[in-house]
Chains A and B, each alone.
Chain A
Amino acid sequence: MNISSAVMSHKKGFAAPSFWKRTLAFLVDLLIIDLLLTPFESAVQNIIPPGVSFVAFQGSSRLIWLMIAMSAVAVLYFALFEYKLRQSIGKMIFKLYVISDTKELKIWQAVGRSLFIIPIFPFILLWLIDPVYLIFRKRRLSEILTKTWVIEQLPPWRVKNE
């Protein structure tokens, strides 16, 4: 089934998911990303020895490059899954789908909506702005900018009542 067209044509069976459902799906994704970043563990420890505060290494170019590389893996996780399958693993568990305002979800849209995970200015601002938008507009700012939506597949008993 083409999810985009299903929602765009206001077919029954899909709706905007709740904030908590999206948060839980995101937490599942974070856990998976954490596992995918395991190979970086020793590289991080090489830069920040155990027992030293992170603050002592602020401004370290090596650390910045490492953070960029780790963020790229996280962006790749969301972008690849959402572009190819319209769902990340967290979204699969909660039956959430990514759709586009345009006919098909483009790769730039998949990448763009995932950039929020980069812990560097200006993307880091989205850590505050995106949840606020999600609460009040049911759509993250990153989603508005990339013309994408996240929708939920409703169970049959809910479709009848919608």
Chain B
Amino acid sequence: MNDKIKNTIIILIIILLISYLAASIFKMKEGGFGNVALIKISGLIVSEGADSIFAEKMAVSEEIVRDIEKADADEGIKAVIFEINSPGGTAVASAEIAEAVKKVNKTTVALIREAGTSGAYWIASACDKIVAHPLSITGSIGVIGSYLEFSGLLERYNISYERLVAGEHKDMGTPLKELTESEREILQSILYQMHDYFIKQVAENRELSEDYVREIATGRIYLGKEAKEIGLVDVLGSKDEAIALIKQEANLSVVEFVRYKRQKSLLSSLAGVFSRNDNLEEGLKITT
């Protein structure tokens, strides 16, 4: 091989190695320089996620709470920004995250991008300030437990549901039989209680009267600009406005983000491909 080509390749490899090493130092220093933790809440909010690489994007409360606690414990972090793009999720997962947010002893700002509805709004309401894009969708303070019921379809194909239960309401909410009146009452009562809890939390977090929140908590969605008018959002804008707000609220002259990585091993991702995803289970599922 021509000497010049050989030397060119050697020099390129040396520079690439140096470049890779230098970049690795910056990656290792994650959290070392930054003063604002950026935590993303994207997709359906659930308490446990699927490991599969093909799984739907989800905001897993367990992981998010861990990130929040990490940010709170880090003395270098002066504020936390939650970048929200979620339609909500399960009540417990949303509540877990909202409670963790409330415990943070630092400035917290929620940035609602495309959507921050239901459980995602619950989390946003726990922050000190909420920034939302004027065209984002927010609100939807309500609880849903609707599901598809197949008993009619099964009957049509002459398939019967052999009910074997110990405890009258054990199979309440199964899609294979119609709800009885008492079951419907029980489920509806659960939804009302959850809704009530949700309303109280939003009222407390946003410092609004419970009656007022009850009035607007019909489960309807609001555009960002409407939400601002009714007090569900503080500032209209996007990331730049959120950064400006953080600078002002946390008294920072410079914002340097820290993002916590949630790494999954290749093996667990591959294993997840063949595992069952409980979030896709049929039947009654109550979500906020």
A residues near B (Cβ < 8 Å) are 32, 36-40, 42-43, 46-49, 51-53, 56-57, 59-63, 65-66, 69, 72-73, 76-77, 80-81, 84-85, 89, 92
Given contacts A40-B23, A56-B243, A62-B34, contact A81 B254 (CB under 8 A): no
Pairwise interchain contact B26-A49, C-beta atoms closer than 8 A: no
Pairwise interchain contact A59-B15, C-beta atoms closer than 8 A: no
Per-residue CB contact flags for chain B residues 217-259 toward chain A (1 = under 8 Å, else 0) read 0000000000000000000001110011000000001111101
Pairwise interchain contact A57-B256, C-beta atoms closer than 8 A: yes
Roughly how many angstroms separate A143 CA and B190 CA in the complex, as a whole number? 79
A-side contacts of B24, CB under 8 Å: 39
Pairwise interchain contact A46-B240, C-beta atoms closer than 8 A: no
What are 8 A-B interface contacts by the 8 Å CB criterion?
A39-B24, A40-B22, A51-B238, A56-B240, A61-B256, A62-B256, A66-B26, A69-B25
Could you count the A-B residue pairs with CB atoms below 8 Å apart for me: how many are there? 92
How would you classify the secondary structure of chain A's contact residues: helix, strand, loop or mixed?
helix
Stretch in B3-11, B120-128, B271-279 with 4+ CB within 8 Å of A: B3-11
Closest to A56 in B: B243
Pairwise interchain contact A47-B257, C-beta atoms closer than 8 A: yes
Pairwise interchain contact B11-A69, C-beta atoms closer than 8 A: no
A46: contacting residue among B11, B25, B238, B259, CB under 8 A: B259
Pairwise interchain contact A60-B11, C-beta atoms closer than 8 A: no
CB distance from A14 to the nearest CB of B (A): 18
Closest to B4 in A: A85
Per-residue CB contact flags for chain B residues 9-35 toward chain A (1 = under 8 Å, else 0) read 001101110111011111100100110
Given contacts A60-B254, A60-B256, contact A85 B12 (CB under 8 A): no
Supplied contacts A32-B12, A49-B83, A57-B256, 12 more A-B pairs, CB within 8 Å: A39-B19, A42-B27, A47-B34, A49-B257, A49-B259, A51-B239, A61-B254, A62-B26, A65-B33, A73-B18, A76-B18, A81-B11
Roughly how many angstroms separate A84 CA and B4 CA in the complex, as a whole number? 10
Q: Which 3 A-B pairs have the closest CB atoms?
A: A39-B23, A62-B33, A43-B26
